[in-house]
A = this chain, B = another copy of it.
Amino acid sequence: MNTAAPSDRPLKVALLGCGVVGSEVARLLTRDGDELARRIGAPIELVGIAVRRLGRARDLDLPAELFTTDAHALVARGDLDVVVEVIGGIEPARELILAALEHGASVVTANKALLAEDGAHLFEAAEKAERDIAFEAAVAGAIPIIRPLQESLAGDAVQRVLGIVNGTTNFILDAMTTTGAGFSDALDEAQRLGYAEADPTADVEGFDAAAKAAIIASLAFHTRVTIGDVHREGITDVTAADVRSADEMGCVVKLLAICEKISTPDGDAVSARVHPAMIAKSHPLASVRGAFNAVFVESESAGQLMFYGPGAGGAPTASAVLGDLVSVARNRRQDVHGPGDTAHADLDVLDVGRARTRYHVSIDVDDRAGVLASVADAFAQYDVSIKTVRQEGHGSDAQLVIVTHEADDAALAATVEVVRALDMVRDVSSVMRVEGLN
């Protein structure tokens, strides 16, 4: 185990993974080594790069002997100061990170999936090893959000975080808003331009955003939230009609990750959910275009803050990784470690049914007397208060568009069930949450 406190001796760094992000990290470490050394106060030495296959053409001017396929041996060599993990996925990333910590290295990782599933385990291992685990790159690429939550807002009480944390879905929804296209045409275009993968499931079904929501909620509220705690709805059901309705209400449709602290009769609790929502055009998040990400934080003293930037990509993610690397290397040099993760608040995670927001509901109805009364009655039955009703079309094309006041998610869901069963209702064609409207 590497117990010696380095002072001016070179800090030894190993890199796990050499894909888009990893090769950019290796390139910058090599090119900017002198500048980074000045910022850290000691030189850094890249001593090994673990890859799946040797011999793949990598556009890196590095000696071949740096590369190895034996990641386990690399992290166990015992003289490493920092291990940078950019393999992704659960295994072998988890066991490699745990081994790195056990052998005395601090860890920098961009692995949102692992952190969202098993962050607590990693944080405990780091605490026990008295080393750092830094992960700015895991949420929203180069946008500093982890450090602001952990440090800048450490003296404040965060109440709510709203994030656009997936670039692919924001690109698709922005294209739908701009061109009027439906979901599948916009997805095709995103794939053609390289903003969506061939299998877009992780993005469009909200899995990627849910992992980030779990990480954000844990840090913002000093508690443990895993991806399994996050309510998740993707954007595959968002229609061109939804986007038009949003526009008519002065809104745009965004896939939001929403993390909230909620007061309950049993004390404070947290709620974390990912779903498409209409958001007022006057809200700063509404102007986040294309594949950009942004995280909007509401806290007691600081008020409203927003962090905006590119949420993905090799170079931005490498920037976040290198920022973390400089920080943990500075700590290694002083033989200290950062504050780590605090989960002292230990809050319950509420079921999405208890989240409260407003709703936009489109109902296809028969155009005859009494239909509004019956529908309104169903809403009243579950205490869902209606703010506006608008009838559109006539005859067999009639539609009621209802916007509610704030209501429980469970109450709204029950209301929709009842409405759907009404004789004169042909279909509830769309239900969407609404954020940021007065």
Residues of A within 8 A of B (CB): 24, 28, 32, 35-36, 38-39, 41, 136, 141-144, 147-148, 151-157, 222, 284, 287, 299-310, 313, 315-316, 318-327, 330, 334, 336, 338-339, 342, 344
Contacts and interface: CB of A to CB of B under 8 A. Distances in A.
A332 to B, nearest CB: 12
Contact of A39 (B154, B313, B326): B154
A319 B306 contact: no
A313 B319 CA distance: 32
Contacts of A320: 152, 302
A336 B334 contact: yes
Given A143-B305, A284-B287, A308-B308, A153 B323 contact: yes
A267 to B, nearest CB: 14
Nearest to A339: B330
Contacts of A308: 284, 305-308
A44 to B, nearest CB: 10
A41 B338 CA distance: 12
A301 B322 contact: yes
A11 to B, nearest CB: 13
A36 B301 CA distance: 14
B287 A323 contact: no
A144 B144 contact: yes
Given A148-B147, A155-B36, A322-B154, A310 B303 contact: yes
Nearest to A149: B144
A204 to B, nearest CB: 24
A301 B28 contact: yes
Contacts of A302: 141-142, 309-310, 315-316, 319-320
Contact of A323 (B152, B325, B334, B342): B152
Given A38-B342, A154-B327, 17 more contacts: A39-B222, A39-B344, A142-B156, A147-B152, A151-B326, A152-B320, A152-B323, A154-B323, A155-B318, A301-B315, A301-B322, A302-B309, A306-B306, A306-B307, A306-B308, A306-B309, A334-B336
Contacts of A144: 144, 147-148, 151-153, 305
B342 A142 contact: no
Contacts of A309: 302-306
A235 to B, nearest CB: 24
A340 to B, nearest CB: 9
A301 B287 contact: no
A164 to B, nearest CB: 13
27 contacts: A32-B155, A35-B157, A36-B155, A38-B222, A38-B342, A39-B339, A141-B302, A148-B148, A151-B327, A152-B323, A153-B319, A153-B323, A154-B322, A154-B323, A155-B321, A155-B326, A156-B322, A284-B308, A301-B315, A301-B319, A302-B310, A303-B309, A303-B316, A305-B308, A306-B308, A307-B308, A308-B308
Nearest to A108: B155
Nearest to A299: B319
Contacts of A303: 142, 309-310, 313, 315-316
Contacts of A35: 157
A141 B302 CA distance: 8
Contacts of A41: 339
In the A-B complex, the 8 residue pairs with the smallest Cβ-Cβ separation, listed nearest first, are: A155-B322, A142-B302, A144-B152, A301-B319, A305-B309, A154-B326, A302-B319, A306-B308
Nearest to A292: B304
